[in-house]
Copies of this chain bind each other. A is one copy, B any other.
Amino acid sequence: MPAKTAKKPPLPADDETVEIAELGESLGFLLRIAQLRAFEAFFDELSALGLRPGEFTALWLVLRNPGMKQGAIARSLCIKPAHMTKLVDRLVTAGLIERVASPEDRRAVHLSLTPEGETFAAARKDDFLALHQAERGNLSEAEFSDLTRLLKKYSGLD
């Protein structure tokens, strides 16, 4: 049986070692795996919050942009309108944010934190910073900053 040359030691073919081959250069694949890791970090750190990643992110953005229209928040997070409606519903039900009808445009809705939401965000600020540490994983500070810079450039967020 021909030795299945893996990258490091010339492994004999066992029935578990899979040759990833070109996938190791596939950005789509690597991004998906990396996102799984990042989700793990999120839940390790913030599972006690009762918020999922999307909800947490939206809450944070409302904190930083009080009174912004729902659609503007959704676009900046690349969340589709249909999804945003449901996400905001959950945050409203949780008592963290509120919808305010726009005086100038009666179709539009402005989002802001409730007093409970303010309290919640203030209390969780440290968790958020801890999350950034946890997200770094096994990367050095410099590697982490390279990685975020490259991802921003790739995504067109510069």
B68 & A135 in contact (Cβ 8 Å cutoff): no
How many of chain A's residues have a CB under 8 angstroms from any CB in B?
Answer: 62
> Is residue A49 within 8 Å, beta carbon to beta carbon, of the partner chain?
no
Q: Measured between alpha carbons, how far is A120 from B140 in the docked complex, in Å?
A: 42
> Is residue A99 within 8 Å, beta carbon to beta carbon, of the partner chain?
no
B15 & A28 in contact (Cβ 8 Å cutoff): no
For A74, the closest partner residue in chain B by CB is B18
> Is residue A19 within 8 Å, beta carbon to beta carbon, of the partner chain?
yes
B31 & A34 in contact (Cβ 8 Å cutoff): yes
For A30, the closest partner residue in chain B by CB is B151
Task: Give A111-138 as 1s and 0s: 1 = Cβ < 8 Å from B's Cβ atoms.
Answer: 0000000000000000010011001111
Stoichiometry (number of copies): 2
> Is residue A3 within 8 Å, beta carbon to beta carbon, of the partner chain?
no
Q: Measured between alpha carbons, how far is A25 from B155 in the docked complex, in Å?
A: 13
> Is residue A93 within 8 Å, beta carbon to beta carbon, of the partner chain?
no
Cβ-neighbour of A148 out of B27, B32, B39, B155 (below 8 A):
B27
A139 & B135 in contact (Cβ 8 Å cutoff): no
CB neighbours (8 Å) of A143 from chain B are: 150, 153
B19 & A148 in contact (Cβ 8 Å cutoff): no
A18 & B72 in contact (Cβ 8 Å cutoff): yes
Shortest beta-carbon distance from A54 to chain B in Å: 9
Please list the 4 inter-chain residue pairs (A to B) with the smallest Cβ-Cβ separation, ordered nearest first: A18-B76, A28-B38, A30-B151, A27-B135
